[in-house]
Amino acid sequence: MTDCRNCRRETDLFLCQLCTKELGALLGELPWLLDQLDITVIRMDKLSTGVIGRSSDNPSPINVGAMELSRTLRGQLGTIIRDMCESRGQRPPAKAWSNSVMAEWLSRNLSAISTSEDAGQIYRELRNGTEGILAAINRISRMYCGPCTNVVGHNPQGEDIECGHDLYADREAVGDSRCVKCQRSFNPREQLLITIKRRDLLPESALLETLETLGEKVSRVRLYDWIRAGSLQPRGYVHHGRIVPNRIQRGDPRVFSLSHARQLRWRETEGAE
């Protein structure tokens, strides 16, 4: 037995089971976040509204801060992969990989990270990198509205088949937006209310975005503090679009109760007053 290199909990590996799950969730989201960062670098933030780019007091087509962050993350990811390969007697990849491809490689090698003595440092670097990306791509202007409820067909029993694509809209947008998958319009506020009424269980990213949309923002770090302390526990996993009690495949995202997370936040807010 040894101590987890991140939380110091006693464990068989260099990352405990909970920290390994948290790292897996981070790595699962990282490729998409890195792609969004690349979009931010060239100021082409494509939202569900179909608007490309935004006006700015600074007309420069390049987001210098995001570009520097992208370079920094590229160096960090490359170093992690190189060190992992060398420690296992493997030759590092010869070709130049994009940031998102490197993140996908790390996600596939999660078990190797948990057995590395540098597991704690890797965990912290990736978590800090994720927080940096979230700040750089300015997600405050984006609102998560839930899965698209537009009916796109019917099953053999005659029941409605909904589009189901995750919807986002500009928080300042006036009027309806458009789903990029089914190309049908939706009202962001009405869609959000439907989501809240229908679904209390949400994956981590959707949970954080929904809380922010409700004006009850919680940081990812705080969310993981709740999970680590056992205050907020997974209620299931999403497998092929359905919530199941146990993880079936690696990569099935865990879901948490939105109402429970809101209660935890309210308690902490009241306690701080």
222-237 CB burial, b ≥16 within 10 A, e <16: ebbebbbeeebebebb
Please give the average per-residue pLDDT across 190-214, as a whole number: 79
Please give the average per-residue pLDDT across 69-87, as a whole number: 87
Instruction: Measure the CA–CA gap between 52 and 238, rounded to whole angstroms.
Output: 31
Give me the DSSP letters along 23-59: HHHHHHHHHHHHHHHHHHHTT----TT-------SS-
pLDDT at residue 43 greater than cutoff 70: no
pLDDT of 223 reads 92
pTM for this prediction:
0.48
Please give the average per-residue pLDDT across 155-172, as a whole number: 78
86 burial type by CB count under 10 A (0-12 exposed, 13-18 middle, 19+ buried): exposed
Instruction: Measure the CA–CA gap between 94 and 205, rounded to whole angstroms.
Output: 33
Region of residue 190 (phi > 0: left; psi between -120 and 50: alpha; otherwise: beta):
alpha
Asked if 19 contacts 124 with a C-beta cutoff of 8 angstroms, the reply is no
Give the DSSP H/E element, type plus range, for residue 166.
strand 166-170
Copy the structure tokens of residue 62.
């390049």
How confident is the prediction for the chain on average, in pLDDT?
78
Angle at Cα 217 formed by Cα 212 and Cα 222, nearest 5°? Answer: 130
What is the rounded radius of gyration, in angstroms, for the C-alpha atoms of the chain?
20
pLDDT digits (tens, 9 = 90+) for 87-140: 878 887 766 688 888 888 888 888 888 888 888 888 888 888 887 887 776 544
Copy the structure tokens of residue 76.
């960090």
Instruction: Measure the CA–CA gap between 169 and 176, rounded to whole angstroms.
Output: 9
Q: Which of 66-70, 195-199, 227-231 has the lowest mean pLDDT?
A: 195-199
pLDDT digits (tens, 9 = 90+) for 46-63: 433 333 333 333 344 445
pLDDT at residue 1 greater than cutoff 80: no
Which strands, in side-by-side order, build the sheet including 236-239? Answer: 201-203, 254-257, 236-239, 242-244
Q: For residue 129, give the 3-state DSSP assignment.
A: helix
Asked if 144 contacts 213 with a C-beta cutoff of 8 angstroms, the reply is yes
Please give the average per-residue pLDDT across 223-241, as a whole number: 85
